[in-house]
Structure 1
């Protein structure tokens, strides 16, 4: 994953940490130094954050393993300064299954807090529960409280939190999925506006949370609307039959010439009808910036390309392309190459479908 460091695999799922995580560590060191803390306390603070993000990883793993139960794969888990993201290939369509997957993450935090409670109770760690100022003396109590907070925060009924997905799952028992998504997104946006309003008079951090929730709800609603518009169509309805093709003998310079001479943003790299890879505009520009215009495109093409079938549901193909972060994919009828599908063409198809439905 771009700008991320691999931490290895857990239960067969690749775990990444984004480089911006270093900003969080740097901020913790700065804040602790400003408060006059010594080196030991600073190291304990860093260790606490790392332990907390281990809990976040387990939270995301809960989602991933629950999804695996319904034969849904997880591409990866990425840790960010604001939390973690489990990149599921798709969300369950059945309300009951989505409910299980959405609840699995917060349940992990509840279990962690539940395991810490008897330990602290027996050791007397709850006698003087003060987590307003962290130190190595209240490490476990702080960890328990933060896990409870994570569970509660994630259950706010608003996208992109788990609570938003729980709300959609419950609404989906009565309404169609895209309608349930729209209702859940609207509720989430109302809550977001409330957070922003309160934030102006109390904690400014609530403004950030409100904006985050509002944009997340908006994105989820747009995604659901797009899937609804694509439903019932196949790849054949949006396929580009005039294939923009390049050969491995072509140079990056010649590929850039074709980029300028046409409206194509993606190309298939072929040897006769045998697809060897795909080449995007971004990959061409990157090669040019590296001063490798005279080199063959073979060294810059994406060999790990996605193959689609002409009769494949368009909604499924588009969702897979988004999940795997592929901007283009060759389309086959059986084993015969018949065209290409790219995200820009799907976007145009969506605009046409939406305009047609309004008539």
Structure 2
């Protein structure tokens, strides 16, 4: 267990966070020094990126409603708590939304650097390669040199872009307790309907991730969330 304070916000990183991060980063398939380097860079960037995401929640909540924010990084990502805060529904929306927004801001800053260094053609090729594993257009000499001669730099950019794009997008899906689900919960009444929406959406995403993209971790995560939301729906619908 790691505990420290940053920007007057207590932070706790639980052991399962590192285990899950290693699995997402491909620890099982890591067999050489380059793979190990990529894994360690991925885990470092993942930690920073998720902290940025959670600080988006915590600092916005403190600004809008006061209270005492706290951040916990655990097996499936992170949680920001704001004990004692007094927030209207509108303020709650912004507190929740600013988590993914912080990730998108970090993504935008990273892409600005990439396009500044590698130009439109090289930046587009690198960005689409990293996000979709299907590059658009032709690579430039500079982009190919990055992949061939500067692997640590590429691994950092790869992790920054991939994590902050997909983590932010997935967090906006309306599945509790993800941010999209928490936003939906603010506006869907009664609450058991939000749970049903979460269960159906989670099951759909799990099936698409497993069948369409062979993403085991994503399928397991959303399958688990779908099951948990459906059980909660059954207990609350009456």
**TM-score (norm: length of structure 2):** 0.74
Name the counterpart of 1:128: 125
Task: Output one character per residue of 1:111-153: Cα deviation in whole Å (capped at 9) or x when no partner.
Answer: 0011111110011151531224995352314412321111110
**Higher-RCO chain (CA-CA 8 Å, sequence separation at least 6):** 2
Alpha-carbon distance in structure 1 between the residues aligned to 2:170 and 2:84? 23
Contact 1:102/1:165 (<8 A) preserved: yes
Alpha-carbon distance in structure 1 between the residues aligned to 2:54 and 2:231? 20
Name the counterpart of 2:88: 94
Alpha-carbon distance in structure 2 between the residues aligned to 1:216 and 1:57? 25
Name the counterpart of 1:143: 160
Task: Output one character per residue of 1:148-178: Cα deviation in whole Å (capped at 9) or x when no partner.
Answer: 111110000121110011112234xxx5xxx
Contact 1:41/1:136 (<8 A) preserved: no
The answer for unaligned runs of 5 or more in structure 2 is: 135-146
> 1:73 Cα deviation (Å)?
2.2
Distance 1:221 1:59, change over 3 A: farther
> 1:55 Cα deviation (Å)?
1.0
SS in 2 for 1:103: helix
The answer on 1:32 being equivalent to 2:26 is: no
Name the counterpart of 2:197: 187
Q: 2:66 aligns with which of 68, 71, 83?
A: 71
Distance 1:64 1:22, change over 3 A: closer
Alpha-carbon distance in structure 2 between the residues aligned to 1:26 and 1:196? 21
The answer on 1:9 being equivalent to 2:26 is: no
Name the counterpart of 1:211: 223
> 1:222 Cα deviation (Å)?
9.0
Alpha-carbon distance in structure 1 between the residues aligned to 2:203 and 2:114? 38
Alpha-carbon distance in structure 2 between the residues aligned to 1:24 and 1:168? 27
Name the counterpart of 2:184: 167
> 1:209 Cα deviation (Å)?
2.5
Name the counterpart of 2:101: 107
> 1:96 Cα deviation (Å)?
0.5
Name the counterpart of 1:153: 170
SS in 2 for 1:15: strand
Q: RMSD over aligned Cα, in angstroms?
A: 3.1
Q: May I ask how many residue pairs the two structures share in their alignment?
A: 209
Decide which structure has the larger Cα Rg and report it: 1
Bigger fraction of residues in helix? 2
Contact 1:113/1:148 (<8 A) preserved: yes
> 1:21 Cα deviation (Å)?
3.3
Distance 1:18 1:168, change over 3 A: same
> 1:83 Cα deviation (Å)?
0.9
Task: Output one character per residue of 1:233-257: Cα deviation in whole Å (capped at 9) or x when no partner.
Answer: xxxxxxxxxxxxxxxxxxxxxxxxx
> 1:41 Cα deviation (Å)?
4.4
Distance 1:89 1:214, change over 3 A: farther
SS in 2 for 1:126: helix
Bigger fraction of residues in strand? 1
Alpha-carbon distance in structure 1 between the residues aligned to 2:158 and 2:101? 19
